[in-house]
Amino acid sequence: MMAEHMTRTVQPARSYDAARRRRADLLRAINGFEHALAAPAAAPTWRSRVGDQLAALRQQLTEHITVTEGADGLYAELLEYAPRLTRQVAGLVGDHTALRQQMESLANWLRDPATGVEELRGRATDLLVMLAGHRQRGADLVYEAYATDIGGET
């Protein structure tokens, strides 16, 4: 008699779709911020435009954090299915704190007319690198948990 093998398929968490939508919205905000930074800095509205795009990016990050860190968020559900990923989730939560701090600092530098354009662009580039790394680690985490790509922005 052949043994019957049972496999358990783990379905993406209930909050997966919400996180996927937030991920796409966050990418649009990142792109808007990057586009504003790349505009000619001599334009009279450059600083205010960068500030507006940074504010939009901060809002999208806040919404991303809500759907990932909330009690019913993606990370809680991920850990329910895959508690082995606790360290990776903690790292992403730490990223959120660092990203918020970097955005707050950048907003302050933008408001200070003594901060030069090159310094602002350098600090903004640091933020963009942090965001790219966070998004990559998040995609890797979801893939490891569910063997699927979160996608949503291609």
Q: Domain limits of the chain? A: 16-146
End-to-end CA separation in angstroms for the chain: 48
Q: What is the pLDDT of residue 45?
A: 96
DSSP output for 41-68: TTSTTHHHHHHHHHHHHHHHHHHHHHHH
Average pLDDT over residues 3-30: 71
Closest Cα to residue 129, out of 106, 152, 150?
A: 106
| pTM recorded for the entire structure | 0.85
Average pLDDT over residues 97-122: 97
Confidence of residue 2 (pLDDT cuts 50, 70, 90): very low
User: What's the whole-number average pLDDT of the chain?
Assistant: 88
Average pLDDT over residues 113-122: 96
